[in-house]
Amino acid sequence: VIKDAKVRDQINFEIGSGLQIRYQVDILITFAESKYDTEKLIEFFIYLGQLSITSGENQIAIEIYERIINLCDGKRGTADIIANAFLAIGEVYSRQAQWEMSVTYLDKAITIFKDEHDIKGSIHCQNIFGTIQGDQGNFEKAKEHFENALAALEKIKDTALVGKIEINLAIINNMQSIYNEAVSYLKRALLNFETL
């Protein structure tokens, strides 16, 4: 027991439990639905979904992205939003090692991205596909996905995404004991991030 009241107050910090966070998010969603039009509500849900992923509230994030998909379903001009929601859900499932669910959502996302000619979205999907293969020990398949993503990046200039893919290639090469390639990819990634 800490007797100094000032010290006790400084370290007496309560972290909200999962149920408390769920309750707060539900109230926030209900409030937003009563105040925002559909466009603003979608923007808010996208922000809240990313915040939930960053906070490790994966189930809440999945539910928020499913709300986005339902809000956009059948509305013109929302295909890219739906694809990104599928991508986000696929990413969450990938982080939870629920690879079949992840692949199901990523397949939906990549189909829409291809229909919309969204190269960057397709690259993000390839990156997660590569990560899934790597997590499962299929290093050659992982490398293939990462190399496909890197090749597609030649059409668009996204230095941060190139660096991210190069790091993943470095990791895969390192796991395969191909150290010269791993170091080469890490150096290239470092140059890209220094440029940024």
Global pTM? 0.84
Identity of the residue numbered 194: E
Collect all residues with Cβ–Cβ distance below 8 Å to 33 and sequence separation of at least 6: 41
**Burial (0-12, 13-18, 19+ Cβ within 10 Å), 135:** middle
**How many residues would you count in the chain?**
196
Q: What is the pLDDT along the chain (196 residues), one digit of tens a residue?
A: 445 565 445 444 343 556 788 888 899 999 999 999 999 999 999 999 999 999 899 999 999 999 999 999 989 999 999 999 999 999 999 999 999 999 999 999 999 999 999 999 999 999 999 999 999 999 999 999 999 999 999 888 899 999 999 999 999 999 999 999 999 999 999 999 999 8
Q: 26-35, long-range: CB within 8 Å, 24+ apart, which pairs?
A: 29/64, 29/67
CA angle (60 as vertex; 55, 65 as ends), nearest 5: 105
